Amino acid sequence: MNVSRTSLPRELYFFYEKNTGVSHFHVEAGADGQFPVEQAAGLLAMHCLVRGQSPRDYVVMVQAASDSLEGLTEKAEQLLQAGHSVGSSVKLTRREEEVLGGVMRSLANKEIAATLNLSERTVKFHVSSLLAKFRVRGRMELVREAARHTATPMTMAPPSVSPRETRPSVPPPHSYSQVARNMGPIALTKRQLLA
């Protein structure tokens, strides 16, 4: 069977910045299937000129053929499921996970309480419960053990607000540069001056 090279998909060559791993541009193989040196050199020179970089700051990668990647997604999903099943032997409530997220971010009980809209006493209760569940004596040991036992990173979710619950709106902070310059003197009453 004779298949012309033009009917086959052409390889793509991606230019990645070595330090950041960011792909900046790509070129397509020529009709003959060869790497287009002239086109790639021109694009690379332009990028280096604009960004103040050297051609050595880039690495070229070739797109993998689709038949090479066959089964990759399925295999990765199987391994991911296996990892999640092994993940954490310590079962935590949603609130304990939120408090643990604050502890892992090195927040004090008062800060965790403010973030989660809880009392400081409730946070202390959850921290004590976490210490017992992880069988540790202090916050540093708790952070170490939690990092070892959990498969997913602990993040502290913002507190949810129920539709019936209202919160006072706080005006956004302003700076003196935002004050209108065309305002004249404001007369204040004696009561306002004494307040």
Read off the pLDDT band of 66 (50, 70, 90).
confident
Read off the pLDDT band of 8 (50, 70, 90).
low
Sheet of 12-17: strands edge to edge?
A: 23-28, 12-17, 58-62
Q: What is the reported pLDDT for 88?
A: 56
Residues 84, 95: contact at Cβ < 8 Å?
A: no
CA distance 15 to 24: 6
pLDDT (tens digit, 9 = 90+) per residue, 118-139? 999 999 999 999 999 888 999 9
- The encoded tokens of residue 133 equal 């569940």
Instruction: Determine the residue type at 91.
Output: K
Q: What is the reported pLDDT for 115?
A: 93
User: Which is more confidently placed, 190 or 113?
Assistant: 113
Tell me what percent of the residues of the chain surpass a pLDDT of 90. 22
- Average pLDDT, stretch 83-94? 71
Question: What is the reported pTM?
Answer: 0.37
Q: What is the reported pLDDT for 189?
A: 59
